Structure 1
């Protein structure tokens, strides 16, 4: 049994036309809690449940918390999620909808995370939102599914926040004999901790997050993500908030699926026919999802950015 579902793999005519290349979409926005996070978090929660843990404690700006709450409900284990003050009401409501307790603490995710660690007792499992080998192992299942489908692609495009999705995707590529396929790692301006770390040659910490893509809001990527930029072909690309928001709006029209700007960042590379993708014949885009955004919020951001 797994807590995630196998998600559709689509060949997108609208995005293939926009890019001038074949575009495949791994539709993890269709996971029951709304994002790819349930793959790794579900796997980690199952492992901890098997070890007799009595409660899950996590920190999150939104999607990871929703996934932990979903997993806890499925496994009949209580959940406490600590979120920073920047977390929107919708995300908090979705966490509570799964039956979890929500604690609001601190201005940033880092402060919420430190407080969550303090709350975890000996019978509790602390579920990190992105920095845990259990998560990466679970996230790798999305590449397993693409490989099982026999799909051919020569690049993977994905969004980077803390780096858990990238770490999982690269683990999946390697375990399916696809370790030479490059990853195009996309961030928004104001949340580009990986791109700035690569440029600096060391893992840096941003002074703060200024992007509307708050799901990408880790001031520092996990060490594994930075290390992978040195051992795997990874290319960092940064897009504007406006490009991410516009891509999310366009994607609703093209595929009738609502995603957060954190996911729209990756889609923006395709919609703007980015030079970085022109050397490839077939591009796999991880549509990572995100449950914290509404149509109204997207439209409000769009109006403010015009």
Structure 2
């Protein structure tokens, strides 16, 4: 591949930049903010900047590449595009096709979050659900495009798509000239290939680091083995980067340009989603929070000015509820207090009164009467509670309950 191929992608990104800027001037695509987070900066001992593509049109960066690619297709006279997507690329293609006045058919995995399916339909695309993963949906979509005589728009293994995503790199360098690290979520590799092609051309000393989920490590394994590795199964809350196999184009670009690629698990991603919501006041989906997850989990050593790309914010609200609850539990802000109490009137109320006096908010109460090891005149009670913010609040609560004659413990998350 070499420098010439990277240069080709960079030059194509310059054409994409003209197109995207024109769309931005018409309000069709946003120039997303690059903001510094004091909270995250203090956690990583560096200047943490977040490129908030979660605030982009359609809720993710994908509209950039989709707009540039679909525009070029439409200009060639094609009237129908087909694609496969886990959700965000689908919305980008559907949105771009509507703007260009052409038809879009999108194949999505069966378990795609409802919000991504519904929004893709709202943009006017025909949605077909097929397969349990992006890879299965992709194979079906490519066959469908051939049968329909439509143009297939690949989600990441396409030079126009990559160039469109690369416009993020231009904006980062323009907004923050002194960049030391850029940390980017990786699924199929289109986003990081575009950003790295631009950033490394303009600022060769910048270190570009990819982040994947442990439940979908296709790029991670491929780059370490020196060949494209197809993984059999993906399992992660970061559905936007749940790809079994990266593309040959993106593999070449990532092999040439990336300084490192690391893995994060779903619990680390959940913590990052909570942190972004509380400190930055914006919602990130699982894939969108991956770069921040890597930073706060210490998966990469950074210094100076560090840009984490928050790639999208399209998360189903029921999933968001589960993720936030899990993250609060991991941080011991929500805990389960469990103990045996006499099974008679008034006892539960007295325990609840003690908790209330300590500023504990009871979220749920669970009774266990069917365990044969529990004496018939006792009941196991578990309280799901929100602890007050004071340090060692849990220890204070348990001591007070024991002083009152109730033997409770806090369960580990």
TM-score by length of 2: 0.69
CA drift at 1:115: 1.5
Q: Deviations over 1:86-136 (max 9, x none)?
A: 212221111111111111112222221111112225752211111100011
2:306 counterpart SS class? strand
1:61-210 mapped onto 2 (5 Å cutoff): 61-121=86-146, 124-175=150-201, 177-210=202-235
2:58 counterpart SS class? coil
Unaligned runs of 5+ in 1: none
Determine if the alignment matches structure 1 residue 276 to structure 2 residue 300. yes
Partner of 2:280: 255
Measure the CA separation in 2 of the matches of 1:229 and 1:51. Answer: 30
Is the CA contact 2:207–2:258 (under 8 Å) kept in the aligned structure 1?
Answer: yes
User: 2:308 aligned to 243, 265, 285, which one?
Assistant: 285
Is the CA contact 2:135–2:245 (under 8 Å) kept in the aligned structure 1?
Answer: no
Q: How many residues are paired up?
A: 302
Measure the CA separation in 1 of the matches of 2:209 and 2:175. Answer: 22
Partner of 1:230: 255
CA drift at 1:224: 2.9
Measure the CA separation in 2 of the matches of 1:304 and 1:27. Answer: 24
Partner of 1:297: 319
Partner of 2:353: none
Measure the CA separation in 1 of the matches of 2:257 and 2:85. Answer: 28
Q: Deviations over 1:183-241 (max 9, x none)?
A: 11111111111111223232111111011211111111122333234322421111110
TM-score by length of 1: 0.93
Is the CA contact 1:53–1:123 (under 8 Å) kept in the aligned structure 2?
Answer: no
Determine if the alignment matches structure 1 residue 241 to structure 2 residue 266. yes
1:99 counterpart SS class? coil
Is the CA contact 1:249–1:298 (under 8 Å) kept in the aligned structure 2?
Answer: no
Q: Which runs of 4+ in 1 moved over 6 A?
A: none
2:188 counterpart SS class? coil
1:137 counterpart SS class? helix
1:276 counterpart SS class? coil
Distance 1:95 1:67, change over 3 A: same
Distance 1:204 1:148, change over 3 A: same
CA drift at 1:302: 5.0
Larger Rg: 2
Measure the CA separation in 1 of the matches of 2:168 and 2:254. Answer: 20
Measure the CA separation in 1 of the matches of 2:91 and 2:85. Answer: 8
Is the CA contact 1:43–1:135 (under 8 Å) kept in the aligned structure 2?
Answer: yes
> Once structures 1 and 2 are overlaid, which stretch shifts more, 116-125 or 165-174?
116-125
Distance 1:124 1:157, change over 3 A: same
Q: Deviations over 1:270-289 (max 9, x none)?
A: 323x16223x2110111111
> Once structures 1 and 2 are overlaid, which stretch shifts more, 257-266 or 112-121?
112-121
CA drift at 1:37: 0.5
1:246 counterpart SS class? helix
CA drift at 1:80: 0.8
Measure the CA separation in 2 of the matches of 1:148 and 1:213. Answer: 29
Q: CA RMSD in A?
A: 1.8
